[in-house]
Amino acid sequence: MTHRVRKSVWGLPDGDETLMWYERAVEALWQLPVDNPRAWFFMGAVHGVPPSFPNIPARAQFWDQCQHQSWFFLPWHRGYITAFEAVVAEEVASLGGPEDWALPYWNYSQDLADNPDARRLPSPFRDQLKPDGTRNYLFSRRRLVTNGDFGLTDQIVSLAAMGFSDFTNSTPGVPSGFGGPVTGFNPGGGDSGALEQLPHNVIHVEIGGFMRDPRTAAFDPVFWLHHCNIDRLWETWRQDPLHADPASPLWLTGQPFDMHDGQGQPFSYTAQDMLDTTQILHGYLYDTIPSPVSPGDTTPDDTEALAMSSSGDPEIAGASEAPVRLGPTVTRTRVPMNTDVALAGPDEAPGSSRRVYLELQGIRGTGVAGNYAVLIDLPGDDMVPVRAGVLSTFGHARASRADAPHGGSGLNQIFDITAHAFSLGLTRGDTGALEVLIEPMGAADQAWGVPPGLEGVVAETDEPADVTIGRINVIFE
Ligand SMILES: [Cu+2]
């Protein structure tokens, strides 16, 4: 049996019709009533429900289901985009297109030497109208960029996540592994896994428009190519014999998810059902990854992977004294250090098992905000501040609602600053404070902008963008 093959969108040859058929299918699905499980609006609301969206009977079971800041992030989205692919492929075939349509992926992290255009949005997504003057259903207003160039930097397309050896880690204060922390059903709140954080969250916010908020993200047709790429990166990671998905039954079978297939029939799945891509609905493969090994063949097991990566109990070596509200320019925060904890011995140089993390805890607020560059510095020295990472606000408003998981305590974000901590002298134990600088990246884009045809269906956000960090911690592990 042959399987659908998901290809790089920038690698599609001249004259390829994959995106032409995608656009035609989106147009057809757009016309379906919102309570039809195959409707564009229904499928987008499965991820998140925009304010002012209609209430339908299926809402409680099928909408607002996306899993974020969770070890279910990757398997839930795999089922979601594959169900979407099934619906689009069904529509393409019924419109007279190919029988084997597959979702392409956008590999923005591709080496620019191999493809100078890799970081640009492919042109079929850019223009409001098609060459014949009719509406382009792949268009969505995105950060007011019309030439496809979002200015994605090396830092934004970083694949550092692929270096994580463990899938999950639930130790507070340290990164939660490649795939995310152990949770139950979790639409948002807490720590993102490494791949979810970067590039996933950061790309969402950089693209802007609907993509900036989980409640509207799946209404942008490029959402699906972004998530197809994230899914490909998971598949690439898990094909490495040194990596393993969680072996816990809580992950494998403990949490079922409800979805609709290409015919609009309900089905449910667990993470275990997502491990062999050739067995999910119609089955698919990626053009550049070898066939999956069968589930269960992977080594080492989860507990060994966890044991290898954790080296000691994390301790808080410094903490900010009050919540930090981010301003329109640079926000500077002094983080007093506890000199008893902030001491690394001479044998604990970079490369040893001792790690230092900067934790932004309880990122809360309203509206749709941008990304922020996070830099660290020692007060009073003459060195230039160094970059600790990118703070992404994707989902911060949703994770702040009192009815959200964790009671609306917001998002957490953790950066590994080990190398900087040694070079700044933070580990000498004689440093009184660390200064953290948080600076908006790029232009503000506070409105979603309602694309043509969605007026009256999706309200433009009227909440002001506001971001507050509950506490900034320096953690020694
Ligand atoms: Cu996403």
Give the closest residue to 195 by CA, choosing from 222, 223, 231, 224: 231
* Locus of tokens 């015919």: 263
Whole-number Å distance between alpha carbons of 432 and 436: 13
- Spacing, Cα 220 to ligand 1 middle (Å): 11
Of residues 238 and 477, which shows the higher confidence score? 238
423 — pLDDT class (breaks 50, 70, 90): confident
Residue 24 token pair:
């035609």
Residue 10 CB: number of other CB atoms within 10 A? 19
Phi, psi (rounded to 5 degrees) for 389? 160, -170
382 CA from centroid of ligand 1 (Å): 40
Tell which residue, 266, 272, 236, has the closest CA to residue 254. 272
What is the distance in A from the centroid of ligand 1 to the CA of 201?
7
- What is the arrangement of strands in the sheet containing 331-336, beginning at the earlier edge strand? 331-336, 433-440, 372-377, 386-391
**Cα distance between residue 61 and residue 59, in whole Å:** 6
Which element (helix H / strand E) includes 230? helix 223-238
**73-94 and 40-47 are packed helices; what angle lies between their axes, rounded to 10 degrees?**
170
In degrees rounded to 5, what are phi and psi of residue 373? -85, 135
The amino acid that residue 145 corresponds to is V
Q: 145 pLDDT exceeds 90?
A: no
Cα(395) to ligand 1 centroid in Å equals: 10
pLDDT at position 339: 74
Half-sphere exposure of 265 (CA within 13 A, CB side): 4
Query: From ligand 1's centre to the CA of 209, what distance in Å?
Result: 13
Distance 200 CA to ligand 1 centre (A): 6
Per the CB < 8 A criterion, the answer to whether 467 and 369 are in contact is yes
Q: How far away, in angstroms, is 217 Cα from ligand 1 center?
A: 7
Instruction: Give CA–CA dist 157/159, Å, rounded.
Output: 6
- Architecture of the structural domain at 4-305: Orthogonal Bundle (1.10)
Pairing mode of beta strands 190-191, 411-416? parallel
Residue 314's identity, in one-letter code, is P
Distance CA 469, CA 244 (A): 33
Is residue 453 over pLDDT 70? Answer: no
C-alpha 191 to ligand 1 mean position (Å): 15
193 CA distance to ligand 1 middle (Å): 13
Q: What ipTM describes this predicted complex?
A: 0.92
Report residue 284: phi and psi, to 5°: -150, 160
Give the pLDDT mean for 383-397: 92
Between 145 and 207, the higher pLDDT residue: 207
- Residues above pLDDT 70, as percent of the chain: 87
131 is written with which tokens? 């060459």
**pLDDT at residue 208, as a whole number:** 87
Mean pLDDT across the stretch 162-179?
Answer: 93
Whether residue 20 has pLDDT greater than 60: yes
Residue whose token pair is 């659908």 = 4
Q: 70 CA to middle of ligand 1, Å?
A: 13
Burial string for 182-211 (b: 16+ CB within 10 Å, else e) reads bbeebbbbbbbbbbbbbbbbbbbbbbbbbb
What's residue 456's pLDDT? 57
381 Cα: distance to centroid of ligand 1 (angstroms): 40
Domain at 312-476: CATH code: 2.60.120
pLDDT of residue 18: 98
- What separation in Å is there between the alpha carbon of 349 and the centre of ligand 1? 37
Distance 336 CA to ligand 1 centre (A): 35
CB 318 within 8 A of CB 421: no
Adjacent-strand bridge partners of 360: 413, 472
Gap from CA of 320 to ligand 1 centroid (Å): 31
Q: Which residues contact 223 (CB under 8 A, 6 or more apart)?
A: 47, 210, 211, 217
- Is the pLDDT assigned to residue 11 strictly greater than 60? yes
From the CB of residue 219, how many other CB atoms can be counted at a distance below 10 Å? 26
**How far is 188 from 185, CA to CA, in rounded Å?**
9
For residue 443, what pLDDT is reported?
Answer: 61
Total Cβ atoms within 10 A of residue 381: 12
Whole-number Å distance between alpha carbons of 299 and 309: 15
Predicted confidence (pLDDT) at residue 348 exceeds the cutoff of 80: no
Continuous segment of H or E residues that includes residue 467: strand 466-476
Question: Residues 70-85: pLDDT tens digits?
Answer: 999 999 999 999 999 9
Bridge partners (DSSP) listed for residue 439? 373
Q: How far is the CA of 224 from the centre of ligand 1 (A)?
A: 8
Domain limits of the chain?
A: 4-305, 312-476
Mean pLDDT of the chain: 88
Q: What is the 367 CA–ligand 1 centroid distance (Å)? A: 18
- 227 Cα to the center of ligand 1, angstroms: 6
Cα(211) to centroid of ligand 1, in Å?
Answer: 8
Cα(403) to ligand 1 centroid in Å equals 21
Distance 36 CA to ligand 1 centre (A): 23
**pLDDT at residue number 170:** 85
Q: Do residues 97 and 24 touch, judged by C-beta distance below 8 A?
A: yes
In the reported structure, the alpha carbon of residue 415 is separated from the centroid of ligand 1 by a whole-number distance in angstroms of 20
Predicted confidence (pLDDT) per residue in 295-339, tens digit: 444 343 333 333 334 456 888 989 999 999 999 899 999 999 987
Whether the per-residue pLDDT at 357 is higher than 70: the answer is: yes
Per-residue confidence (pLDDT) for residue 295, from 0 to 100: 43
If you measure from the C-alpha of residue 47 to the centroid of ligand 1, how many angstroms do you get, rounded to a whole number?
A: 9
N-to-C CA span, the chain: 50
